[in-house]
A and B are shown apart, each in its own frame.
Chain A
Amino acid sequence: MFSIKIPQKMKSPEAVIEKWAVQKGEPLKKGDLLLVLKTAEEFVEIQCPEDAFLLQISKPEGAIVSRGQVAAIVGAKGESVSSPQMFQDKAPQPSSEKKQEVAEEKKPVSIPPKEVQMASDSKPTTCAEKVIPILMPQAGQTMEEGTLLAWKVKEGDRIAVGQVIFEMETDKAVMEVEAVDAGRLAKIVVREGQTVPVKTPVAYLAESDADVEAYLTAHPMTSQAAPPAEEEQQATQSGGYEGLQTAPAHTQAGRIKASPAARKIASERGIDLAAVPFGSGPGGRILSQDVEKVQPSTAGGIRKPLSKMRKAIANNLLYSKQHIPHFYTKLTIHAQPLFETYKQTKEKFPCSVNDFVVMACAKAIREYPAFRSQLRENEIIEFADVNIGIAVGTEEGLTVPVLLKADHLSLSELAEKSRRLAAAAREGKLEGVGQGIFTITNLGMFGVEEFSAIINPPESAILAVGAIREGALAENGQLKPTRLMTMTLSSDHRIIDGVLAARFLQTLKGLLENPRQLLES
């Protein structure tokens, strides 16, 4: 293995990596262009000193490097870079289009800026300037695709700037699209009724059909490969070392022209600049007054980035609600005996009502395999171990440590283990992650009487347990004071039917209303 270093004889002591011309896993030939550095005075193309295999890029684009610093690791094909602390590879993976461009530009020749600039649109120069793609516009930040409703022009027509060329429909509205370039409409590639992602070419302007054909051959039609929109082209036309570069990232996203004050106000108020409908400044630039007219979505609110945990919770639960057909069954049990047994047991060792519930669930789940089953694609997988997750609320958010083989534990073991798991979870240490088959969530300690929970995917059910509360029981026409506890079972209807859920709850009821037997069994 060898390290590829920034040459000591580089004139400037420091430089920024402007571009990597190769990517990890690629075979390199001596003399191949590896990367381009930008210094105050020049671009320096760094060439590969030997034939080798690129094992790792150690410094990504945009990194500052100095003389003698390691930029990459090369070696034999298949060799692995063993010591990770050596050089962390933080380089973003270059996309495949970039690779194509590199292939075209591989010869390390001194390129005058003009040529470089034309290649920047990654079109073959023969027809680059003759073919203009017409793109599906992005009307609003949230628009991802649009349906072409009707063409207002046909192939062969000459079109003028501002002329309505087609009608499109988004998820929000139908609108007319005007031409931003003039020319001859050479080829329509998206038919009426077709839905395509934004920025996908829908037609091409060109004087000759042959140019379009040549363009399309050089350019497989993908939305990424689509040449940059109007403003982005401006950005790449500024020359410089952009021969190997796609448009600068800030323009890829579609730069919105706005004054610094407008940006500041927008960021303070949580307003997306894309949501500002009109820019009253020169060239449609958004000014502060334009932002002020927009109703912020989170007026006066404080914006915080989502923590990893919050993100995970959000994704999981959204997935669950969207993909698992939940249904809910609710049952109230006579909890006087459970309450008394709990009080007595607590004298002997620390435990909670929830430990009894876990124990009862473990036994019931033993009996009902559907509650330890998961639906995966076209199969139902039944698990042998009764691993029960306990929902624990922490400062950062909800976590679910898992009690493994809960059906094999006595109440004291169960109580001790779940206390330890909850404490560890509050410190951020999770056990049994991903091994749960059923979850219990209990808000009884907060006096919550009953609630319905969202299934923790890929599990098939979750039990939401309320508080033991004082109530009355009607027996032989007489009201008798007692204690009650309500449990709500959320089940995945794809594998659990209503009757099964009801039976499961009944079994639980039987176990919890006879806690002595539960403990002895």
Chain B
Amino acid sequence: MAEHFTVAVIGSGPGGYVAALKAAQLGAKTAVIEKHLLGGTCLNYGCIPSKALLASAELLHKIRRSESLGVKVEGTVCFDWPAIQKRKEKVLAKLRGGIKGLFAARQVHLYEGRGVLEGPGKIRITDGKGQTQQITAERIILATGSSPARISGWPEDVQRVCTSDEALHWKELPRRLLIVGGGVIGCEFACMMKEYGVDVAVVEMMEELLPEMEADLGRGLHQIFAQRGIRIFTGTKVEDLSLRDGEISALLSNGQTIEVDKVLAATGRRPNTKDLGLETVGLQTERGFVRVNERMETQVKGIYCIGDANGRCLLAHAASAQAVVAAENALGKSAQYSLPVPNAVYTFPEIASVGMTTRQAQRENIPVRLGQFPIGYLGKAMAIGEESGFVKVICRRDDGRLLGVHMLGHNATEVIESAAAMLGFKAKAEDLGEMIFAHPTIGEAVKEAAEDVYERALHLPPRKVGQMAAQIEAIV
């Protein structure tokens, strides 16, 4: 007799495990099915391992310029790559244990195996030994995530032409690395690898790094990277990759050829929705994504889809937010996923943003006002020697409501939360500017930038007024 659950969740990433905990918290008999490792991409192949590796890299970075803060390190500064990897593994194991503990505490039933839909309300689970069993559930939440996209036509040597899945677990570091794609993953790897002494080149097809984010952020990071000796090719494509005994030669669209030891393809991710039995319940996909509404409902009643697999926003915290919405709706509540989702890039300095970019506002023809404040003007920034970056605030021109806040600077990913909260509460730039921020903090730049929207920032001199003749050109 198949065991019956109120809610079954396929996948235990930041979407799936949160959905299961929420469902259990609401009193439902809940199952989670995980085919690989608890915690999904985030915990095992994404957010957490990259942050662990970046933490060691950032410490190296600090030690290397410790003299600027008057600290002398005698002898050579070096790092132990296997030890760094080992520490990372320890962190991951501890977090996986944490999820397991939470499941046990809430009586979430964990099935280790591959879950495939087998008609409405039915899931076939096949474990590592090939043993199968069926469970039934009234509500099913799909949280199967995504995998890094591999570029078709490129050498299929995963040791040398890798994705983040492999790169986070490299046993040894390459001497020269080509990163294809200057998005979040590409930039984080570039920042980290450079510190570990790897000769890094980044190739980005669009005209600036982090093309999805506010353009100034990518431009700012580009300068910082360039100073550190990272080679950056923007507006450039990799035309061809060829493998030659231990070396990879990449032909770029600008005609240059670069020789590297490894290539990291960081060009996007694809949803894990194949071989999931979607057809057995009549679920269709669009470019692989399972489409859902604001309530996370698919076209099929009783089936929800959250996280990367629905393609709305490929971020762990978006998946977790959607998870709560899906679990609540599955259990008779009425919830919607509608709040702004912050974006975080863990380079050093960090980058974070929430809400609309100026480009999006332009595309939607929303008249705006802008405010900006340089981090370097802050007392805290000077005191801790982290002076690069800025905060930019965008609001509606008509009623002053915040549209977006974008930041490059020390601790940006923590600081952005204050802006995200204000945006979530539909505040105006004026409201943000009126809040009291602790002094000295980096966050003060958010307040000042909000004040600068109406030229009210006190720690900025009034803007100079420059003059310039317009260009004139005959229209033919």
Contact = CB atoms under 8 A, between A and B. Distances in A.
Answer yes or no: are A and B bound together in one complex. yes
Interface in B154-184: none
A65 to B, nearest CB: 9
B454 interface: yes
Interface string A29-73: 001001000101111111111100000000011111000100101
Interface string A451-495: 000000000000000000000000000000000000000000000
Given A41-B463, A41-B464, A113-B462, A48 B470 contact: yes
B400 interface: yes
B409 to A, nearest CB: 14
A40 B371 CA distance: 7
Given A6-B471, A42-B466, A108-B467, A16 B369 contact: yes
Interface in B212-259: 215-216, 219
Given A62-B367, A63-B367, A264-B426, A3 B475 contact: yes
B456 interface: yes
B268 to A, nearest CB: 26
Interface stretch (B1-9, B285-293, B311-319, B356-364): B356-364
Nearest to B471: A5
Contacts of B80: none
A240 B463 contact: yes
A31 B362 CA distance: 29
A110 B467 contact: yes
Interface string A232-268: 0001001111100000111001010001110110010
B390 interface: yes
Interface string B365-409: 111111010100000000000000010100001111000000000
A313 B117 CA distance: 49
B71 interface: no
A74 B365 CA distance: 23
B468 A34 contact: no
Contacts of A41: 463-464
Counting chain B residues whose Cβ lies within 8 A of the other chain, the interface size class is 35 or more
Interface string A1-14: 11111111110011
A111 interface: yes
Contact of B468 (A45, A239, A242, A253): A45
Given A40-B390, A260-B431, A49 B455 contact: no
Contacts, number: 147
B367 A4 contact: no
Contacts of A239: 455-456, 462
Contact of A249 (B215, B399, B422): B399
Given A50-B472, A267-B426, A248 B400 contact: yes
Nearest to B400: A250
B96 to A, nearest CB: 37
A27 to B, nearest CB: 16
Contacts of A8: 471
B427 interface: yes
A4 B454 contact: no
Contacts of A46: 467-470
A16 B370 contact: yes
Contacts of A73: 475
B463 A2 contact: no
Contact of A38 (B374, B425, B463, B473): B463
A42 B467 contact: no
B470 A4 contact: yes
A63 B468 CA distance: 19
A42 B452 CA distance: 12
A90 interface: yes
A239 B397 CA distance: 17
B470 A6 contact: yes
Nearest to B365: A90
Contact of A42 (B426, B430, B463): B463
B223 to A, nearest CB: 13
B378 to A, nearest CB: 16
Contacts of B372: 40
Interface string A197-232: 000000000000000000000000000000000000
Given A49-B470, A239-B462, A248 B454 contact: yes
Given A16-B368, A238-B454, A4 B465 contact: no
Counting chain A residues whose Cβ lies within 8 A of the other chain, the interface size class is 35 or more
Contacts of B474: 1-2
B472 A2 contact: yes
A491 to B, nearest CB: 45
B428 interface: yes
B471 A38 contact: no
Interface string A255-294: 1000111011001000000000000000000000000000
A4 B397 CA distance: 24
B397 A47 contact: no
Contacts of A49: 469-472
Contact of A263 (B366, B368, B427, B475): B427
A52 B327 CA distance: 64
A48 B426 CA distance: 39
Contacts of B370: 16, 38
Nearest to B468: A7
B463 A235 contact: no
Contact of A2 (B358, B369, B475): B475
Given A62-B397, A90-B365, A235-B454, A45 B467 contact: yes
A265 to B, nearest CB: 10
A299 B365 CA distance: 33
Given A3-B475, A235-B454, A250-B398, A261 B469 contact: no
B468 A44 contact: yes
A4 B215 CA distance: 24
A264 B466 CA distance: 40
Nearest to A36: B465
Nearest to A52: B472
B463 A60 contact: no
Contacts of A10: 468
A131 to B, nearest CB: 25
A71 B473 CA distance: 12
A43 B455 CA distance: 11
With most chain A CB atoms within 10 A of its CB, the pick from B367, B398, B427 is B367
Contacts of B215: 13-14
With most chain B CB atoms within 10 A of its CB, the pick from A6, A62, A110 is A62
B448 to A, nearest CB: 12
B359 A263 contact: no
B463 A260 contact: no
Contacts of B455: 113, 238-242
A1 B365 contact: no
B463 A43 contact: yes
Contacts of B374: 40
Contacts of A48: 469-470
A259 B431 CA distance: 8
B426 A260 contact: yes
Interface string A72-85: 01100000000000
Contact of B463 (A108, A241, A259): A241
Given A47-B470, A73-B475, A110 B465 contact: yes
Given A64-B361, A240-B463, 12 more contacts: A3-B472, A9-B468, A13-B219, A14-B358, A16-B370, A44-B465, A45-B465, A50-B472, A61-B367, A68-B471, A238-B456, A242-B455
10 contacts: A5-B472, A6-B471, A14-B215, A49-B469, A50-B472, A61-B397, A108-B467, A110-B467, A238-B456, A263-B427
Interface of B: 215-216, 219, 358-359, 361-362, 365-370, 372, 374, 390, 392, 397-400, 422, 425-428, 430-431, 454-456, 462-475
Smallest CB-CB A-B distances: 9 pairs: A240-B455, A62-B367, A260-B425, A62-B397, A250-B400, A260-B427, A5-B471, A40-B372, A238-B456
